[in-house]
Amino acid sequence: MIRRKGRLRRQLIIAGSASATVADLVRGLWHASGGRRWMIPLVVFLCSLGVILTLAAGVEALAPFIYSIF
């Protein structure tokens, strides 16, 4: 039987592991052929946005503030 974690705890784990995924992406773009290093800031921005949205989904009290920012 899988023990279910609370929603916030799940979102925090997801956000905590995001850095490894972003690092993978940045590394891939840095070494990519065809001069795609210019995409790194865009990717980092989009990923950061994704992490914030993921966290917002887990912290209901935070959601109104985050949605007012965007």
Partner 1 sequence: MKILGISAFYHDAAAALTIDGLPVAAVQEERLSRSKNDPTFPMRAIEWCLDQAGLEPEALDAAIFYERPALKFDRVLMTLLRGFPQSWRIFPKAMKNMVGEKLWVRGIVSAQLGIPARRVHFTDHHLSHAAAAFLTAPTEEAAILTADGVGEWATLTVGQGSKRPGGPVDIRLLREVRFPHSLGLFYSAFTAWLGFPVNEGEYKVMGLAAYGAPRFADEVRRILRRTPDGAFSLDLGYFDYHRAVDAAYSRRFVDLFGPPRDRFEPIDPGTAQGRHYADVAASAQRVLEEVIVDIATAFRKETGLADLCLGGGVALNGVANARILREAGFERLFVPSAPGDAGCALGAALWADRILFGQPHRDCPDHPFWGPAVEPDDLARLAAEDGLAFERAAEADMIDNVADAIGRGAVVGWMEGAVEFGPRALGHRSILADPGDAAMRDRINRDIKFRESFRPFAPVVPVEQAATFFELPPGGARLGRFMSGVFPVRPEWRDRLRAVTHVDGTARVQVLEAAMAPRLHRLLGAYSRCHGIPVLLNTSFNIAGDPIVTSAAEGYSTFRRAGMDLLVADDVVVRRDRARQAQRMEVMA
What are the helix (H) ranges across 1-70? 7-16, 18-31, 40-58, 63-69
Q: Residue from 47, 59, 63, 66 that binds partner 1 (CB under 8 A)?
A: 47
**Residue span 14-43 as binding mask against partner 1, x where in contact by CB under 8 A, dash where not:** xxxxx-xx--xx--xx------x--x--xx
Question: Is 68 exposed, middle or buried, given 0-12, 13-18 or 19+ CB atoms closer than 10 A?
Answer: exposed
- In the complex, the residues that contact partner 1 under the rule CB under 8 A are 1-3, 5, 9-11, 13-18, 20-21, 24-25, 28-29, 36, 39, 42-43, 46-47, 49-50, 53-54
